[in-house]
Structure 1
Amino acid sequence: MAIHYARAGEGEDGFIAEINTTPLVDVMLVLLIIFLITVPVVHSSIAVSLPREPNAAVDPQRESIIVTVDAQGGTWWFDTRLPDRESLQALLVRAAALQPQPELHIRADARAEYDPVGAVVLAAQQAGIARVGFLTEPPAR
């Protein structure tokens, strides 16, 4: 049982010297379909007219209130220790009535409990202070 190879000119056609482009066309059509599907998704957006506002610098004359909570839970208004939470509430109500309203910056010791810090935030919310921030120190490099 040997394999018989046809010799040149024994009835078999010779080698075809043309390039078979069918696989190339198939691949190109698949790529074309993929691009036609994905391009509209990437570039679709809803046309809206956005308002135009100039960038305003932060008012450098706006006062900031600094309330500090120390590690023992004591509350300080700038450099003055407050005896109780009612005095903090009264000071914050007075500050909330100012125009423009000052920002409240809370400096809390890393070892402070959550309760005193939460009490300051709650007092600011009840007084109507609109902007509350926390002061931190940048991490060591």
Structure 2
Amino acid sequence: MDLDDRDRRLLALLQEDCRIPNAELAEKVGMSPSACWRRVRALEQAGIIERYSAILKPKQLGLAFHAIVHVQLARHDPDAIAAFIRAVAGRREVQDCHATTGQADYHLRVVCADIDAYNRFLDDFLFRLPAVRGAQTNVVLKEIKRAPSVAL
């Protein structure tokens, strides 16, 4: 799907506030409400809009510990990798997981209540996965920027 300037404006406005009423969204981009609704629906059906969500503040929810975990795998066979991915995807502490180049095979962003909860995550989960050789933790001291949107 080719995006025009109006599509980009729609996407930018929806990223700022996905609860904006359709009539207000249409007015801001210079479209009729029905045409705006059809265009947003087309963006959803094309998979450009993946989902809508609320952005929460972890500390306000008692999740004060935040770390980036660099995971090295001991085994790289497809079954071991698939098992690792399934296990990590099922853990609520893991906010993001990226397969990358470099020394680590995967980078996890982990959020939990405190250092004790993080140690339980490591000991009771991560280090018990057969494919995991090791992990290095970088504790997040301060969040400078967390972008919930894609630059358009």
Q: TM-score, normalised by structure 2?
A: 0.23
Identify the structure with bigger relative contact order (alpha carbons < 8 Å, sequence gap 6+).
Answer: 2
Q: TM-score, normalised by structure 1?
A: 0.24
Q: Between Structure 1 and Structure 2, which shows a larger proportion of strand residues?
A: 2
Based on CA coordinates, which of the two structures has the bigger radius of gyration? Answer: 1
Q: Between Structure 1 and Structure 2, which shows a larger proportion of helix residues?
A: 2
